Structure 1
Amino acid sequence: MPKMKTKSGAAKRFTVRAGGTVKRSQAFKRHILTKKTTKSKRQLRGSVNVHFSDVASVRAMMPYA
């Protein structure tokens, strides 16, 4: 059986933490930032966990993470 390939797009977007949770970055922070308020841009900083209903599909895309 050949090795499974990691989806390269998923590897760029997600990281698996030591506890098994999956970390992702926030969306809506790339462009067209002038019309967004400072508060909304500030709240989009940092990283958050992937929702528990999506963790299984993300882990399937990254079999060795």
Structure 2
Amino acid sequence: MPKLKTKSGVKKRFTVTATGKIKHGVAGKRHRLISHNAKYIRQNRGTEILSEADVARVKSWAPYGLK
């Protein structure tokens, strides 16, 4: 059976934690930040854990795991 390909966007945007959860960056931080209030910018700092509804889809896009 041939090797499965990993989607390039997935390997750039997601990482797997030691417990197997998937981390991702938070959207809405690139530009037009002057129109967002300070609480929005502060709460969207850093990374978040991907919701359980989306985990199966992302893991199918990265069939051999992420580094």
Question: Is TM (by shorter chain) over 0.5?
Answer: yes
Q: Secondary structure at the match of 1:54?
A: helix
CA distance in 2, matches of 1:60, 1:44: 27
- Following TM superposition, where does structure 1 have runs of at least 4 consecutive aligned residues deviating by more than 3 angstroms? none
Higher helix share: 2
Q: Which runs of 5+ in 2 are unaligned?
A: none
Q: TM-score, normalised by structure 1?
A: 0.93
Pairwise CA RMSD: 0.8
TM-score normalized with structure 2 length: 0.91
Taking only the aligned residue pairs, the percentage that are identical comes to: 49
Across the two proteins, how many residue pairs are aligned to each other?
Answer: 65
Extract unaligned runs of 5+ from structure 1. none
